Structure 1
Amino acid sequence: MKILALGAHPDDVEIYCFGTLLAYKALGHEIAWAVATDGSPKGAAPDMAATRKAEATAGGALAGVTPIFLGFQDGALGQEQALVATLEALYATEKPDLIITHPPEDYHPDHRALSVAALDAGRFRVPVLYADTLNGTGFTPQYWVDISAHMATKQAAIRCHVSQRPERFVDSATTLNHLRSLQCNAGGEGAYAECFRFDPHAPFSDVRNLLPPSPEVKPLVRW
């Protein structure tokens, strides 16, 4: 099986679903991801796009992946008429069995635009799974993936994005992923999970058989 993650910005995959991609890889599946924008919004330093591409490449190397860079401008995805066609071409080349990307209600307009385009480009060919939001705000999870064995590598991948003051995202992701593990009553020391939601769309009604194992749900202690 091949999993293709789509991030709007060069560090999004690392923040939201890097642990799950490593879990897929550990199970013998193929992983890939694409970065929609160059990470260089209007008014940024002239070398910002090159810097962020180098940082994303370093993060991808920790998973044995070279990210695919689609090259749209940071902050302008909602204005890109070519986005769906670009994703259709990407899907035709990569032939994924599952897409992971941002949810359509996410806080960032680039995230929302990519989410809608990812679903439109997939049409009836590939299911689209939505990853968590920043700090879990407004997100109702359906599926949890145990990433405890991969959390240290995820943290290291986020830290590759030096230009983005990465410790704030390391702290945020570490706290959220521990909370998501606690939601399964599995959250002891060193326990972490990423969570996801799937909105059924024809002809796909369920994707649970496509996901890595969830944290082991421990019985509640009776007081």
Structure 2
Amino acid sequence: MIKAILTDIEGTTSKISFVHEVLFPYARQHLSTFIYEHQQDPMVTEQLEAVKAHIGHANASLSTLIDTLEHWIETDQKITPLKALQGMIWKHGYESKEFTGHVYPDTFEQLTQWNKNGIALYVYSSGSVAAQKLIFGYSDFGDMTPLFNDYFDTKVGLKQDPKSYKNISESTPYAANEILFLSDVVAELDAAEEAGMQTYQLIRESQQKSRHPNANSFERIVFQ
């Protein structure tokens, strides 16, 4: 019996294009100015030190770090300090109402219904937890964050690694087989299944169907 749902964001609850056409360009445009203006802020300093550690250059200049981060954005790297800094930049965009977080209408309606039915809801995305809370906190449907029990990002592991899903399961009150993982990416579904979770593939756009159960909207997801 499913007692909890763990959902991906990009391509699952929200359009892939929102991230690539709105969020990434916004972060790229504002990255340099943001870092120069906030380089002394402890949260920013922590992430810049993490970038230095990642590239193995403890004395890297600020311009080198910015160039590295911009390259990571352009090549869509799933690197934790980049995601954290992007989240800080996006926060300004959301708060200034330059954009809202895209969420499919069926996602909002079904998550609300599952929450009312007592199903625990969790999020797992390669974007930072802060970024996840922003997209749902400033969504097209207002603040959706009260629907969710917790959020997970790459700090628990990569999304195609079964151990990541074991780590998530162990962080909840539920056994792995009581959790249903939703994603549009087959490799992620395979990893979750290997960890013992139930799975459902979202076919939002032109994804190839797989052996996992699938639906083209949250409303068509069926489970016991």
Q: TM-score under structure 2 normalisation?
A: 0.41
Q: Which has the higher strand share?
A: 1
Q: Which has the higher helix share?
A: 2
Larger Rg computed on CA atoms: 2
